[in-house]
Amino acid sequence: MEGPIGWGRQEVDGWRKGPWTSQEDKLLVDHVRQHGEGRWNSVSKLTGLKRSGKSCRLRWVNYLRPDLKRGKITPQEESIIVQLHALWGNRWSTIARSLPGRTDNEIKNYWRTHFKKGKPSKNIERARARFLKQRQEMQTQKQQQLLQLAGQVVAKDENEDGGGARAPGTAADDDDDDRGSAVVDDACAAPAPAPLAVAEASAAGGGNHHDDLIMHDAIAMDFMCPMSCALLLHGAGVVQGGGTGSCCGSTASDEYGSGDEDGATWGSLWNLDGVVVDGAGACTLW
DNA sequence: AATGTAGTCAACCGCAGGCAT
DNA sequence: CATGCCTGCGGTTGACTACAT
């Protein structure tokens, strides 16, 4: 950082650093009111503030923006953060877009405080346990469905030409070690749209929905198709156009999933490598 | 009551990507 | 096409506060 100097009211290269004063805040707020956001480097020239554009932007985004939500992260928001972190990893700004009024910095701090040291809160532990349980149930359910389906296909084939019956485990085989491809493939045939409203309503500060509901819906949906869930959560504005969804790789698992007591690390619940999301939010495999 | 430790928050830095020239 | 500037992002740090001993 600044070496031994620390955060006094020092100036470096003519720029003030350290905590902002109320006068500086006022200058910045007035400036943004007049000129809007952006062009941060011109703020100092126009206002006389001895702050770099970077510093001005940060102060505005993290502290002065009028739509910021103050106060503690709610359990609902916490659940969403967990979900989205599992989905996106450390893409704090992306996660923040799904939590109106919260900044990436806030979420980042929250995550580091609560989860970085491998000591998740009770709420998170419950959410995680529920997630894992639900995942297991859904996998079982899916396997049964596939077996049923396979049985029907076999019966049909036998009826039609009596040959060419495949091994029933073709698709289900993926489930053992690959939580991404088979699941996504399956789910994207019918992505569920409902949780968007739930997540957004809670994130918007309503807090009226029980967190169980949030987790249930979010988990179910994420499990079915994480990418589409995220796209829905983010609205039309955020589209991972044609990109690969390798979101659950190193960072997430490194930070949280070290305690692999149950074999499935929290941060690597989904491996989306190889998943492509098109503009409409439909996932495909390549 | 004093001290140590952990948690929280605000701000900084370096880097990367996008865009204009 | 190359270069430089601006903006945004993620990681890190230091000050402050709350809690425990």
Is the CB of residue A272 less than 8 Å from the CB of residue A229? no
The reported pLDDT for the residue numbered A126 is 54
Q: What is the mean pLDDT of residues A235-248?
A: 33
Nucleotides of B under 7 A from a protein CB: 7-14
**Tokens 């084939």 sit on residue:** A157
Which residue's C-alpha is at the least distance from the C1' of C8? Answer: A93
- Which residues pair with residue A244 across a beta bridge? A276
Contact flag, residue A193 CB and nucleic strand C, below 7 A = no
Who wins on pLDDT, A21 or A162?
A: A21
pTM of the model: 0.55
Nucleotide nearest to A90 (CA to C1'): C10
The reported pLDDT for the residue numbered A267 is 35
Is the CB of residue A239 less than 8 Å from the CB of residue A277? yes
Distance A43 CA to B20 C1' (A): 20
A81-109 core/surface letters (b: 16 or more CB in 10 A; e: else): bbbbbbbbbbbbebbbbbbebbbbebbbe
Is the CB of residue A131 less than 8 Å from the CB of residue A215? yes
Residues at the strand B interface (Cβ < 7 Å) = A 1-2, 7, 12, 16-20, 51-52, 54-55, 58-59, 62-63, 72, 105-106, 108-110, 113-114, 117, 119
Who wins on pLDDT, A206 or A156?
A: A156
A151 band by pLDDT with thresholds 50, 70 and 90: low
The reported pLDDT for the residue numbered A134 is 58
**CA torsion through residues A200, A203, A206, A212, sign:** positive
Q: Can you tell me whether residue A5 is helix, strand or coil?
A: helix
pLDDT tens by residue, A4-30: 334 444 677 778 888 898 888 888 888
Contact flag, residue A93 CB and nucleic strand C, below 7 A = yes
Tokens for A183, please give them.
């699941």
A130 band by pLDDT with thresholds 50, 70 and 90: low
pLDDT tens by residue, A36-60: 888 888 888 888 888 888 889 889 9
